[in-house]
Chains A and B, each alone.
With several copies, the nearest count.
Chain A
Amino acid sequence: MKKLINTAESVVEDALNGLAAAHPSLRVRDRVVYRAEGPRPGKVGLVSGGGSGHEPLHAAFVGPGMLDAACPGEIFTSPVPDQIIDATRAADGGAGVLHIVKNYTGDVLNFEMAAELCDDVPVASVLVDDDVAVQDSLYTAGRRGTGATLFVEKIAGALAEEGAPLEEVARVAREVDDHSRSFGVALTSCVTPAAGKPTFDLPEDQVELGIGIHGEPGRSRAPMAPARELAALAMEAIHGDLPLRDDLLVMVNGMGGTPLIELYVVFAEVEAFVRGKGARVVRSLVGNYVTSLDMQGFSITVCRLNGELTRLWDAPVETPGLRWGR
């Protein structure tokens, strides 16, 4: 498989150099991405991170209204504690730091170790676990954090920007996670630069249901079907877990290799599905936001909004990956 890289070993480093060159608002040092202007005194700092390969998540969500720092690990590999410690120290404006951690064993362990090791900074942590494809959490590592991570980062980021204290920012972050559910469908696997071949094989007439964001196989396969049916399948899984009602924020997210035109086709189906359940899509995102390299497919994330969450979602954000309302 062809990749636009120099070497498989240097891809994260090279991409971070490109990120820094492209965005003067960001500073990159030792595998941590910061806001160039540094932490705002008195503001709670937001730090997230995870394996690379999910761009724009997380590095391109650093900026006013969202993250203060991001720690990109190797491709699909959680960052190491050193990065998280650096990020935490640098993001602290004196009001403490919120760690936004996707619920994967690796992310959880590395963030825990880091939090332990920088006990001079008050750290709160929120676990994002929105993926309804992971069932019976007694017998698993628990639900994965996927698309809702973006919602948590945006909404908690907005509250932090308003000057709320750490426990409040952590509270709203958990609330967003509680209110959010996701489900993903892959048409193809993805190819990591190191492996150079697809993580799994998927026949031409099959889709993979309930995928995460690491190119790992999902829970089951189903025959390929029209967008309408695939969207309904994902939405039923979400609806079965968190009944759709009232005002919803909905993201139709591309996994990296799916053209935008197809994501809009899916969004039309999702919106009709939501209406069919008597609920309303009042805010939406359609695009590649939480990706798995070049995987073809989509994930849907739904968040039940309320007044506060809507206000915070609408608040200004100014990052390379998400930007509005300044």
Chain B
Amino acid sequence: MAGMLDTDLFLAWTEGAARAVRLHRDRLTGLDAAIGDADHGTNLDRGFTEVGKALTEWPPTSPAQVLVSAGTTLIRRVGGASGPLYGSLFRQLGKSLDTPVTLAGFAAAFESGVQAVERLGKAAQGDKTMIDALAPAARALTQAVQEGADEHKAFERAARAAEEGAKATIPLRARKGRASYLGERSIGHEDPGAASAALIMAALAEAAA
């Protein structure tokens, strides 16, 4: 049914995210080596691999279950800063979904997920964190819905906004997370969490394609 987002779509999203993170693991770790502690790729790869296992072991029966389970698994298995942050994103997103899931409902839930990340990490856009990819993605999604876009288009636009947001972290000076310790030296490097957020949003667009 067009406009309806079902369990399989979200399963495809988490699987796609796992594949993307695996494929880009060394690049993410490399970005983290430049301004952090060289573990972001390993962290997310471990996390999304565990998400895949959990979703196979306890097959979810609703989109909300997929996302809450993914978030819980990320919190339980990743550690570091990104574990609680991505975990909260997915959990809050899942918890905010009404059944059946409409595109507009998803966009609102996604906004709520991103806000949860902002609350937890006390970061705002421009602090050179994953927020710099997630917040523009949320806005793009909401706007696409308002403009009547279908899910393919809407997710595409969100993914593009995330990607642009990630690249836009390069000239920024980090003010949150480990990269903030570098002061001026954090300038000129892409934030690893923003980069992984862009990958995850691209996986959503691909899952709906």
Chain A positions within 8 Å of B, measured between CB atoms, are: 51, 73-82, 104-106, 109-110, 113, 133-136, 139-141, 144, 192, 194-195, 199-200, 210, 212, 214-220
Contact = CB atoms under 8 A, between A and B. Distances in A.
Contact of B81 (A109, A194, A218): A109
A6 B73 CA distance: 26
Contacts of B75: 80-81, 113
Contacts of A134: 181
B177 A77 contact: no
A141 B75 CA distance: 21
30 contacts: A51-B80, A77-B39, A77-B79, A78-B80, A80-B75, A80-B77, A80-B83, A104-B81, A104-B178, A105-B121, A105-B178, A106-B80, A110-B79, A110-B80, A133-B181, A135-B183, A139-B173, A140-B183, A192-B37, A194-B39, A194-B42, A195-B29, A195-B42, A214-B37, A216-B181, A216-B182, A217-B35, A217-B185, A219-B181, A219-B182
A216 B81 contact: no
A81 B177 CA distance: 19
Given A110-B84, A134-B181, A214-B178, A80 B38 contact: no
B38 A212 contact: no
Interface in B39-73: 39, 42-43, 46
Contacts of B46: 74
Contacts of A219: 181-183, 185
Nearest to A73: B79
Nearest to A139: B175
A109 B78 CA distance: 12
B152 interface: no
Given A75-B39, A200-B33, A219-B185, A109 B178 contact: no
B33 A199 contact: yes
Interface residue range, chain B: 20 to 34
A77 B183 contact: no
Contacts of A77: 39, 42-43, 78-80
B36 interface: yes
The 5 A-B residue pairs whose C-beta atoms are closest, nearest first, are A214-B37, A140-B180, A109-B84, A106-B81, A106-B80
A251 B185 CA distance: 28
User: DSSP class of B's interface residues: helix, strand, loop or mixed?
Assistant: helix
B38 A215 contact: yes
Contact of B84 (A73, A76, A113): A113
B181 A140 contact: yes
Given A77-B39, A141-B177, A216-B35, 17 more contacts: A73-B79, A74-B79, A76-B38, A80-B75, A104-B81, A105-B81, A105-B121, A109-B121, A110-B79, A140-B180, A192-B37, A195-B33, A195-B38, A199-B33, A200-B33, A214-B178, A219-B183
Interface centre among B29, B38, B79, B176 (most CB of A within 10 A): B79
B85 interface: yes
A134 B179 CA distance: 11
Nearest to B179: A216
A134 B39 CA distance: 21
Q: For B82, B120, B175, B181, which residue has the most chain A Cβ atoms within 10 angstroms?
A: B181
A66 to B, nearest CB: 23
Contacts of B80: 51, 73-74, 77-78, 106, 110
Given A74-B79, A78-B81, A109-B121, A192 B39 contact: yes
Given A74-B42, A194-B39, A79 B79 contact: yes
A79 B173 CA distance: 27
A217 B84 CA distance: 24
Contacts of B35: 216-217
Interface in B112-170: 120-121
B181 A106 contact: no
Contacts of B33: 195, 199-200
Contacts of A133: 181
Nearest to B120: A109
A76 B181 contact: no
Contacts of B39: 51, 74-77, 192, 194
